[in-house]
Amino acid sequence: MSNTKITAWEKVEIARNPKRPTALDYIEQIFDEFIELHGDRAFKDDKAICCGLGKIGTQNFTIIAEQKGRSTKENIERNFGMPNPESYRKAIRFMKQAEKFKRPVITFVDTKGAYPGLGAEERGQGEAIAKSMFEMAKLKVPIIVVVIGEGSSGGALALGVGNKVFMLENAIYSILSPEGFSSILWKDSSRAKEAAEKMKLTAKDLYEFKVIDKIIKEPKVEEKEDFIKKVSKNIKKEITLCISEMNEKTSEEIVEERYQKFRNMGEYKIL
């Protein structure tokens, strides 16, 4: 099937496919080394977001990635990729560490949304999401965001404030799920397919509206291992090119560029 014929809802289904590669699958292929770091030093280590240090050649990075599980057991351990507030506080901790040691930050976005449970709300879910976006906005090192799968709601937006935002061809990125959109707009979650078309959540739509900077192509292959290698190679290429350019800029220029990027988004309205 040609990608030009794939509907928005079909893109949603592709992005949600449990067999789709996860953040750790890509990290293993993209980075020469990766060491995972744990904990927010306040409550616990929430595994819906994994953080760590990575390297490509001689360039060090801080990596922050939303991680879904494969099996039922792993999904329970990862909370089905839905971060609790301690995940975002862990991410903020390592963002600040990255700034201290002048390491660029790479975030991988792949979540149906932040966890909406009572405990998460009691521990300040909304504040943690807002604080993550606030800290990213003023971070003095380059930030590259890569949307690899399902990027929905504040859970995704919390890691989405970057100098550059890349998106895989069959990923989605939106302020809520199509089901949530149709439930709010029409009081009918069964109209999710119709909502997906109206939400403009595909990579093509978002590139046209200048919400993202580049679409990373996905190969038309069925073999999982070959797919991961090809997509990882494409992501690695874009990261390397982007960082080589941003390493020439001062910290003030990096912050200002990020500010202007999101400030100017207000000029583009989705009707």
Q: Residues 109-120: pLDDT tens digits? A: 999 999 999 999
Q: Is 170:11 a contact under the CB 8 Å cutoff?
A: yes
- Write the single-letter amino acid at 30: I
Q: Domain containing 129: what range? A: 3-266
Q: What is the pLDDT of residue 123?
A: 96
pLDDT at 238 over 60: yes
pLDDT the model gives residue 267: 56
What is the predicted pLDDT for the residue at 226? 86
Q: How far is the C-alpha of 245 from the C-alpha of 1, rounded, in Å?
A: 36
pLDDT at 6 over 90: no
Average pLDDT, the chain: 93
Q: Give the global pTM.
A: 0.93
- What's the average model confidence in pLDDT over 211-227? 82
Residue closest to 165 by CA, chosen among 247, 98, 249, 109: 109
Q: What is the DSSP letter of 175?
A: S
Residue linked to tokens 């990579």: 203
Compute the distance between CA of residue 5 and CA of residue 2 in angstroms, rounded to an integer: 6
Q: How far apart are CA 94 and CA 136, in angstroms?
A: 11
Confirm whether 39 is domain-assigned: yes
Is 28 inside any structural domain? yes
Residue 227 resides in a domain: yes
Is residue 271 domain-resident?
no
Measured distance CA(63)–CA(107) in Å, rounded: 6
Identify whether 177 is part of a domain.
yes
Give the number of domains in the chain. 1
For 163, list phi and psi in degrees, rounded to 5.
Answer: -65, -35
Q: Is 70 exceeded by the pLDDT of residue 181?
A: yes
Nearest to 47 by CA among 26, 28, 25, 69: 69
Percent of the chain with pLDDT over 70: 94
User: CATH number, domain at 167?
Assistant: 3.90.226.10
Identify whether 98 is part of a domain: yes
Residue whose pair of structure tokens reads 């093509």 in the numeric block: 204
